[in-house]
Amino acid sequence: MKTVAVIVQDGFAPFEFGVACEAFGLDRTADGIPNFDFRVVTPDPGAVASKIGFSINVDNDLSFAYEADLVVVSPTPREYWTHVDERVLDVVRQAVAREAWVLSVCSGSFILAAAGVLNGRRATTHWMYAQMMAEMYPGVDVDPDVLYVQDGRIITSAGTAAGLDACLHLLRQELGAEMTNTIARRMVVPPQRDGGQAQFINKPLPVVASLSLAPVSDWMLQNLRADLSVDQLAAKAHMSPRTFARRFKADFGATPAAWLSRQRILHAQRLLEKTDLGLDRIAYESGFGSAAVLRQNFARTLGVTPTAYRSRFRHVAAEQAA
């Protein structure tokens, strides 16, 4: 992925638009991250009004988007969802047809649905509009309970900050875990946020317990090789197993076992990218016990074998070094 086009139209949401700019538009070569040829495009170049009373000047029409490796669709106001600009729909259809990446932020997924590219696919949008999308587009399998969905080379994301999760998810596939972690550190956000939208829907805010569990989560990261049970972790947190499991999921968006498994995968990714260790040793260091268990979990989570992952992202690192 070398070229990125972000489509904006009148009524665009500044934060969601800014997410794409932050993820793909900044120069991070000083940190060893390759630059993308990043351009903001619009059907009619000139002043494009945001939804909160200011405009940006966009010089580029949609031409660049027809060739971009990634097309990002920013959300538009609800009143535009039933009459999307046909030129934008054509860009989206052509991008999917030529197997480019297509990513929508928040309710930008309605533009993808209007283009027909989500038919027969799983997708998501902001939880406030999930039922509306399911009714407007019955051919789309709308999942209201996740932060983002990837179906093939189409990625749809939920509300606001979930767009950043989706961007990092895509960057992880293109640049690898190590470079994506560097980008996330620059943004001061978690490189991988687990959990779904369900935690945000019509529920009171949970009691903040992250500080009390931080020592336990840090200890888990330092002891990935160990066979860690909920009982053991609960004892370390001075809680009952049931209370610990409930508090952990409220704070981290995943069960202790699921969170630990994801951290082990991330550690294995880093070792595959940055070391010459064999799979048995990486499996041991990551807490999977054996190469066979590592392969099974790695393929199930990332859809690729550890060997193929190493080959791909060593090549990315070598290109960047050159």
CATH classification of the domain holding 276: 1.10.10.60
Answer yes or no: do 154 and 281 share one domain: no
Question: Which of 135, 161, 187 is at the close of a domain?
Answer: 187
Question: Which of 187, 217, 244 is at the close of a domain?
Answer: 187
Q: What is the pTM of this model?
A: 0.71
Are the C-beta atoms of residues 74 and 6 closer than 8 Å to each other? yes
Mean pLDDT, the chain, whole residue set: 88
40 found inside a domain: yes
Answer yes or no: do 218 and 105 share one domain: no
208 has pLDDT over 50? no
Answer yes or no: do 121 and 236 share one domain: no
13 found inside a domain: yes
Answer yes or no: do 140 and 249 share one domain: no
Q: Determine the pLDDT at residue 202.
A: 43
42 found inside a domain: yes
Confidence band for 303, pLDDT divided at 50, 70 and 90: confident
62 found inside a domain: yes
Q: What is the DSSP letter of 66?
A: G
Pick the closest to residue 8 from 72, 93, 86, 74 (CA basis).
Answer: 74
| Residue range 150-177, pLDDT digits in tens | 999 999 998 878 888 899 999 988 998 8
Our count of domains for the chain comes to 2
Per cent of the chain over pLDDT 90 is 64
- Determine how β-strand 148-151 pairs with β-strand 154-157: antiparallel
* 3 state DSSP class of 60: strand
Taking the C-alpha atoms of residue 148 and residue 143, their distance in angstroms, rounded to an integer, is 9
Answer yes or no: do 163 and 225 share one domain: no
Task: List Cβ<8 Å contacts ≥24 apart for 267-275.
Answer: 267/224, 268/294, 268/298, 268/306, 269/176, 269/177, 269/178, 269/302, 269/309, 270/177, 270/178, 270/181, 272/306, 272/309, 272/310, 272/313, 273/176, 273/177, 273/178, 273/310, 273/313, 273/314, 273/317, 274/178
Answer yes or no: do 208 and 182 share one domain: no
112 found inside a domain: yes
84 found inside a domain: yes
Q: Give burial (CB, 10 Å; 0-12/13-18/19+) of 157.
A: buried
Answer yes or no: do 166 and 17 share one domain: yes
Answer yes or no: do 154 and 275 share one domain: no
Answer yes or no: do 131 and 211 share one domain: no
Output the CA angle 28-274-256, nearest 5 degrees: 90
Confidence band for 207, pLDDT divided at 50, 70 and 90: very low
Answer yes or no: do 22 and 168 share one domain: yes
192 found inside a domain: no
Answer yes or no: do 172 and 230 share one domain: no
> Which residues form the domain of 284?
204-322
Q: Determine the pLDDT at residue 205.
A: 36
Answer yes or no: do 183 and 208 share one domain: no
Q: Determine the pLDDT at residue 195.
A: 58
68 found inside a domain: yes
Q: What is the DSSP letter of 50?
A: B
Q: Determine the pLDDT at residue 122.
A: 95
Q: Identify each DSSP E strand in 81-145 by its residue range.
A: 101-104, 122-123, 141-142
| Those residues with Cβ within 8 angstroms of residue 224's Cβ, 6 or more apart along the chain or in another chain | 260, 263, 264, 267, 285, 286, 287
CA atoms within 13 A on the CB side of 59: 2
Question: Which of 153, 187, 221 is at the close of a domain?
Answer: 187
Residue type, 137: Y
The CATH number assigned to the domain holding 22 equals 3.40.50.880
| Residue range 94-109, pLDDT digits in tens | 999 999 999 999 999 9
